[in-house]
Structures are given as C-alpha cells and as structure tokens.
Amino acid sequence: MSIRSLIGMEDSSTGHITFIYCHNDGYFEGVGKTLVTSWTDPEKIRKLLALGDISILGNVIGRKHRFDRHHYSPRAKKDYTLAYARDRGDEGCEARTVATRQAFRKEGERYNAEFLYLSQNGKWLGSRGGAFTKVNF
C-alpha cells in the first residue's frame, strides 16, 4: 500500500509553493527522513521539483532508467528517485505552484496525500493533517 505525500518548496519572497506528488513511503520515517538527510541544498531541491511527480524518492535524482511494472527493481537502483515523466514517459506530471499554504493543503486533499513536506529557508517542515512542524532525524 502506498503512503502518498506532497513535496514542496516555499518561495521566501512571495510565499508561493512549488510542489510535486510522491506516491510511495510518504510517512515521516520514509520521505521525511530522506528529505532531511539528503535534500537540504535548495538547488538540489529545485532539480527534484523539475522532475515532476515521482513514485519513489531516492537519495539522489539519478539517471533515466526503465520503469514499468515488469522491468523495475527498486533494489537495483535504490538511491535513485523514480520519476513518472522521465522514467516512464508519463505526461501531465509537471510541478505545480500555489499561492498559499492553505492552497497547498487543499492540493494535499485532492491528491489524497497523508503527509505534506515543505522546504522553507533550508529547513524541512512536515504535516500530517495538522500544523507544519520541523522534521528532525
């Protein structure tokens, strides 16, 4: 069973949030821990968001690799991020931008995301239906 999440980055000057959907391991000990330990550089986060929606968040973006139900082994490229557009050729997976945290929460509801993650001034905040709090590991 997947635990869905949204991963976003807040623009400090406008408050706008650019985000992507992540299908698997969205809980704090999964995506949350990976974000805090491997995704702290704002430029690296921008590159992640540029991939668009993802199935699995890895420790690195990695390179294009085959992704379909018959030819993907998560263990074979366990550090790679698995992206729907890059690796499977899906369309309509681009990052989206909303104007407020309230709108970000609404998007979370629309995607049935249990967890929301937000990079703000170099720190990761997380939410599971409540207020955003700092994610620590």
pLDDT number for residue 74: 53
Percent of the chain with pLDDT over 70: 91
Query: Average pLDDT, whole number, for the chain?
Result: 91
Of 29, 41, 31, residue with least CA distance to 4: 31
Average pLDDT, stretch 49-65?
93
Confidence label for 24 from pLDDT (cuts 50, 70 and 90): very high
d(CA 10, CA 4): 20
Residue 71 has pLDDT above 80, yes or no: no
Does residue 75 surpass a pLDDT of 90?
A: no
Binned at pLDDT 50, 70 and 90, residue 70 comes out as low
d(CA 7, CA 19): 5
pLDDT(73) > 80: no
Provide the whole-model pTM.
0.92
Give me the sign of the Cα torsion angle 54, 55, 59, 60: negative
**Distance (Å, rounded) from C-alpha 41 to C-alpha 122?**
7
The answer to whether 11 and 101 are in contact (CB under 8 A) is no
Closest residue by Cα to residue 35 from 133, 132, 121, 119: 119
Distances (CA, A) of 31 to 26, 28, 36, 54: 5, 6, 9, 11
115 has which bridge partners? Answer: 5
Q: How many CB atoms lie within 10 A of CB 17?
A: 23
